[in-house]
Structure 1
Amino acid sequence: MFQILNKPVYSFYRLLKATNLRNQHQFLKIAAVSTLQKNGCRSSNQVIFRSSSSTTKSAKKLFTPGPLGTSTSTKEAMLRDLGSRDVAFINCVANIRQKLLDIAGVTKENYTTIPVQGSGTYSVEAVIQSTVPRDNGKVLILENGAYGKRMATICDALNIPRLLLSFDEGQPVDVAKVEDTLRKDSTFTLVSIVHCETSCGIINPVVEVGKTVKKFLKDGSYFVDAMSSFGAVPLDFQAGSIDYMVSSANKCLEGVPGFSYVIARTEKLLQCEGFSRCLSLDLIDQYNNLEKSGQFRFTPPTHAMLAFQQAIEEFEQEGGLEGRAARYMKNRSILKEGMRKLGFQELLTQPDQPSYIITSFHYPNDPNFDFKTFYQKLNERDLVIYPGKVINKDCFRIGTIGQIFPEDVEKLLVVIKEVCKEMDISLPITT
């Protein structure tokens, strides 16, 4: 917050555009004469500019799976207040719903977008609790990490019968085993899978699995959690026969946290009337209200959606999925080569893994390495990485999505080298 003669001024800094996102903290020269005059100032000599500590804090670079860094212009889009029934906001919601279908490569005639207040897990639970029949419903969960396991936890909390088909962490889902399972039991009403399992970074073969699901379950539904991949990793809805997909605003489309969304095959969704176990996560009721009035049933995340609308515009300016993926792949390429030179070993070794979302690295086999210290020293330099989430291996994770650019990754590598030297870790690392 800035003050002029102790009077708040709220409209100073639309100085950076989407074309200059990386310099978002090298700004704040001040305002127009008209703004000063409105506050009773005849000349700039009368003006005292004072910034709060919150605006002078340096920005952290988030090398994480989420929440992610966002552009200045995306954050600035939240400086506007709109009512939930404001025509401008209703148009914003409609625009977002259509844009997400466009990004998914599907049509409004066959699919619909349903935004859901809350994090990505809210949408995962909304799909499961809204689409599994109350009678004779059963879920097959294909799991090779923490987020597949979370689906099982959701089913258990809802008392929904489920089978957890587990695969080794760091290994993709085995389509042959899925086929064998479905051949033995074709009574599942929903099959679910995580596209990019960010607990380790693995990309699962969702299209091949989808074809298998439709081969054995004629009336069953196929659900893909594409939380950390949608908008950057190709996902063919038609080839994979995907009925439901979920993602979050604050992932590869680079919005801010506050809501997630479901892209659903409309015909399938409408067959689920009456299945919902709760009110707030009832996808069918949410869909019906959006179609009828263009409005959410309950208080919507207005500011987060305004930010997301801006983020989608910037996504398109970057070249859509291809352009965003190209930047993320460049980030990942620099990270991979730099960490290799330092001696760090990756958890995933499959050469065919297009894992440019997040990369897991083994802890160095060095007595001086302590992850907590390593993390803290990087954090003190405004570089944030993530601990590992693999059960039986000591590793840490570095994400290459969000507002991360090649020069950011190069800086991270320089600082990692500095930190290793401070911790007396021998380089290059040997195992």
Structure 2
Amino acid sequence: MTAHQTEILPPRLGEPYLLTPGPLTTSFPVKEAMLKDWGSWDDDFRAMTRDMRTRLLALLGPGADDFDCVPMQGSGSFCVEAMLGSFIPKTGKALVLANGAYGQRSAKTMEYLGRGYIVLDKGDYLPPRGDEVARILADDAAITHVVAIHCETSSGILNPVEEISEVTYAAGRKLLVDSMSAFGAIPLEVAQVRYEAMVSSANKCIEGVPGFGFVIARKSELEAAKGNSHSLSLDVHAQWANMEKTGQWRFTPPTHVVAAFLEALRGHEAEGGVAGRGARYARNRDVMVDGMRDLGFETLLKDRWLSPIIVTFFCPASAAFEFGKFYELMKAKGFIIYPGKLTVVDSFRIGCIGQMDENVMRQVVEAAAAALSEMGVNDASPPQAALEERAKLAA
């Protein structure tokens, strides 16, 4: 174990595991990194910002020299809006690929921006596929950009961004990727998947804490984005130009969060980078899903589309099951789970990311079994209508 590699330890006494897609359970070194104050204009902090940008670009693999990294204050949604408003010109038009809440949020963002857009809505169960995207692009010459969600965490679908990219560029258009909940654990190397820009956040698969996100974009797109933005504070070009000139953020940066994120990046590297982090998350998913299925729970998705980030389960049909009670029982046992966001059936979600390993996931299953017993739920299988709906839409 290297100096920066962190053993998977339980949270501090009284703290539950966060089984969510971020914020998530962080390591002790990440927490401890926030105990020092930093001057936002000081050379030491500027060096931290520079180091962070360099480390993030290294995750892109060969071809990263054509890109640059621009950190942006705020949550992930701030960064998505910054990307869309900076790289889609006022005369542009986007095809937004939606199969859950976050695709729909990108569409709502486009509406607020006053930019042209259309939506391919696949519902809660299915990913957008390349042939569908190709047909839409062929039928609408006004579309300039495609917006794709890498991992749609409202359902847990891992979307096929590589095939989406292939048809997008075959049609002469540009791809923007929301990789908020996937970057750092799912490969997004620029030599394998072509895109103009992507966004992610500090408190996802890198395992930092909330406070900023980052836009990684081609330098040519950053240069061309001047004057596009609808917003002073969300102007990616202006933030990039200022960082290139002075090394500083334009507005007060989340200094403690950056310090924590650098520690998280060191831990990420020590674990084996994207491959190592992704392998642990995939094992977490497999152990947890197998155990929950043994209890009678059904996943929303077939195995082919299950991401290693978060998994959606149908709520049991039993009249004795009530999600609010299940949530509180799980919390009392040390696990905070996540409500569902599906539009058709009742569901809940269990995240696989953060400072957790397969041993923790076995404890999650044990806690779920105990919670069902305490509620008097003898059968965790979902309503037949939910299974029929899934079968109909997945056909």
Aligned to 1:7: none
**1:368 is the counterpart of 2:323:** no
The answer for unaligned runs of 5 or more in structure 2 is 384-395
Instruction: Find the partner of 1:290 among 234, 243, 246.
Output: 243
Q: 1:388 to 1:85 in 2, by over 3 A?
A: same
Higher RCO (C-alpha 8 Å, min separation 6)? 2
Amino acid at match of 1:387: P
Aligned to 2:16: 60
Instruction: Assess if the C-alpha contact under 8 Å between 2:129 and 2:163 holds in 1.
Output: no
Q: 1:302 to 1:428 in 2, by over 3 A?
A: closer
Instruction: Assess if the C-alpha contact under 8 Å between 1:222 and 1:243 holds in 2.
Output: yes
The answer for unaligned runs of 5 or more in structure 1 is 1-15, 26-56
How far apart, CA to CA, are the structure 1 residues paired with 2:33 and 2:265?
Answer: 12
Instruction: Find the partner of 2:6 among 4, 19, 25.
Output: 19
Amino acid at match of 2:66: N
Instruction: Assess if the C-alpha contact under 8 Å between 2:197 and 2:218 holds in 1.
Output: yes
- Give the alignment's TM-score, normalised by structure 2: 0.93
Give the 4+ runs in structure 1 shifted more than 6 A: none
Give the drift of 1:20. Answer: 3.6
Instruction: Find the partner of 1:186 among 130, 138, 141.
Output: 141
Instruction: Assess if the C-alpha contact under 8 Å between 1:186 and 1:216 holds in 2.
Output: no
Instruction: Find the partner of 1:128 among 80, 84, 105.
Output: 84
Aligned to 2:386: none
How far apart, CA to CA, are the structure 2 residues paired with 1:93 and 1:430?
Answer: 48
| Aligned length, in residue pairs | 381
Write the deviation string for residues 343-394 of structure 1: whole angstroms up to 9, x where unpaired.
1011001x42251111111111111000011001111222100111111121
Aligned to 2:340: 388
How far apart, CA to CA, are the structure 1 residues paired with 2:54 and 2:62?
Answer: 10
How far apart, CA to CA, are the structure 1 residues paired with 2:11 and 2:317?
Answer: 38
Q: Secondary structure at the match of 1:238?
A: coil
How far apart, CA to CA, are the structure 1 residues paired with 2:21 and 2:11?
Answer: 21
Amino acid at match of 2:76: G
Amino acid at match of 1:266: K
**1:240 is the counterpart of 2:193:** yes
**1:171 is the counterpart of 2:126:** yes
Of 249-258 and 169-178, deviating more is 169-178
Write the deviation string for residues 154-205 of structure 1: whole angstroms up to 9, x where unpaired.
1111111111111131111121111100001122222101010000000111
Q: 1:275 to 1:420 in 2, by over 3 A?
A: same
**1:99 is the counterpart of 2:55:** yes
How far apart, CA to CA, are the structure 2 residues paired with 1:109 and 1:236?
Answer: 12
Q: 1:194 to 1:250 in 2, by over 3 A?
A: same
Amino acid at match of 1:142: L
Write the deviation string for residues 7-66 of structure 1: whole angstroms up to 9, x where unpaired.
xxxxxxxxx9753440553xxxxxxxxxxxxxxxxxxxxxxxxxxxxxxx6111011111
Aligned to 2:44: 88
Instruction: Assess if the C-alpha contact under 8 Å between 1:344 and 1:364 holds in 2.
Output: yes
Q: Secondary structure at the match of 1:352?
A: helix
Give the drift of 1:240. Answer: 2.4
Instruction: Find the partner of 1:213 among 168, 171, 175.
Output: 168
Q: Secondary structure at the match of 1:188?
A: coil
Q: Secondary structure at the match of 1:122?
A: helix
Amino acid at match of 1:148: G
Instruction: Assess if the C-alpha contact under 8 Å between 1:130 and 1:283 holds in 2.
Output: yes
- What percent of counterpart residues are identical? 41
Write the deviation string for residues 381-414 of structure 1: whole angstroms up to 9, x where unpaired.
2210011111112111000101112121111111
Write the deviation string for residues 245-268 of structure 1: whole angstroms up to 9, x where unpaired.
000000000001000000001112
Q: 1:430 to 1:267 in 2, by over 3 A?
A: closer
**1:397 is the counterpart of 2:354:** no
Amino acid at match of 2:88: V
Instruction: Assess if the C-alpha contact under 8 Å between 1:66 and 1:251 holds in 2.
Output: yes
Q: 1:293 to 1:206 in 2, by over 3 A?
A: same
Q: Secondary structure at the match of 2:177?
A: strand
- Give the alignment's TM-score, normalised by structure 1: 0.85
Give the drift of 1:95. Answer: 0.6
Instruction: Assess if the C-alpha contact under 8 Å between 2:317 and 2:380 holds in 1.
Output: no
How far apart, CA to CA, are the structure 2 residues paired with 1:369 and 1:274?
Answer: 54
